[in-house]
Chains A and B, each alone.
Chain A
């Protein structure tokens, strides 16, 4: 019996070991793809049996979306719209245009998908600028001539067509990556992938939680020290986008000019903010709203959040030139920061 007892304990220990080994082996399969699309590097990491399949489908979907939405690709629906003033649209293009128009109306034009002619005048017009030359400061006369072409109200979108006024041009660069994030997240969910992370520069989509059940941790760059984060967000099933003056800029005549233009003036927006981060479940809204709120400034952004934030389910993280980081109430408990770190004072605002 004593021998039996020892044998039983050995069997128990062996079973425990096997359990531990099985637990290790039960880590879901991971697959990762990195690729360039929409003038940005993109990365998708997915976990689970369907991960490999989802990677391929997601890349195909993003490339298809790019082929429809790029304004520099001859023959794309947006290129056709800009060249001829009218275009027939695939459902994806119509949805993206509608999303852009929705944010334009929501923000009174602080985000405007028709700002392209002014962006081009500054050399911020997209990948083509990399080949054609460098950034430049347009004259006031040049801007005055171009600003009448910036008018989202002259863009009409139906379920399958769009028209714009003569000389106008649409650029969906401020919303397309958010739409791509939405599509990738939807693909993952359809395929049963419950843990994935999609990143494309200034937009990150957290699909589900990490395989260990904890939230994805996403750093928000400190705009004054971009090698560090000023806040870390813990996100599950959410999309987040940042717009910051530090992303693209140049100096001329001792003045620094950044790439986020105020559609009303045609000049780089100076609203007192250094960066804006938006969190919501809608990637298109998140992407476009980060640009709009940068233009609106802290008070305008908080006013928008107070009036529409609950209905549209978004939250904001605003980094100001005054060294104040303002977080809206929905981020409380999801934002990891240290008061005073980086010289910032952090505040949480409620409705």
Chain B
């Protein structure tokens, strides 16, 4: 009569390999999407109106339907509010940002550009 523990067999190895593959698949499926490249989420009055990828050469996006015409520019992983017809220009003064967790805000338009992506912080003050 054989006693425990029995020697691992090729079948055990197969089971372990299957589970390892499942674990690997789960890792990629369940890992938060933050791990992706930076994205600028544009909201007006709290509602999302656009999602812009920051990678690549300069691109401009004019947000439709605002009280003050406004253009967002993305370039090489950064974003800014390039032009705005708002009276104070506070939003244009904020300049470029490339930090995940940061926001650009145009209060007169009630517009927010939020940067989402990996390696960032949960929020940026100011």
Contacts and interface: CB of A to CB of B under 8 A. Distances in A.
Interface of A: 1-2, 5-6, 9-10, 13, 16-17, 20-21, 24, 33-36, 39-41, 127, 129-131, 133-135, 197, 199, 201-204, 210, 216-221, 226-229, 232, 240-242, 244, 246-250, 275, 277
Interface residues of B, number: 46
Contacts of B23: 17, 20
Contacts of B102: 219, 227
Given A9-B12, A24-B30, A227 B98 contact: yes
A202 B107 CA distance: 13
Chain B binding site: helix, strand, loop or mixed by DSSP? loop
Given A216-B122, A216-B123, A275-B126, A17 B46 contact: no
B125 A202 contact: yes
Contacts of A227: 78, 95-99, 102
B47 to A, nearest CB: 8
Interface in B67-104: 78, 86-90, 93-99, 101-103
B55 interface: no
Nearest to A218: B123
Interface string B26-58: 100010000000000001011000000000000
B122 A218 contact: yes
A2 B105 CA distance: 68
A5 B102 CA distance: 55
A55 B42 CA distance: 21
A226 B126 contact: yes
A226 B107 contact: no
B15 A221 contact: no
Given A216-B123, A227-B98, A249 B6 contact: no
A104 B75 CA distance: 45
A5 B4 contact: yes
A264 to B, nearest CB: 25
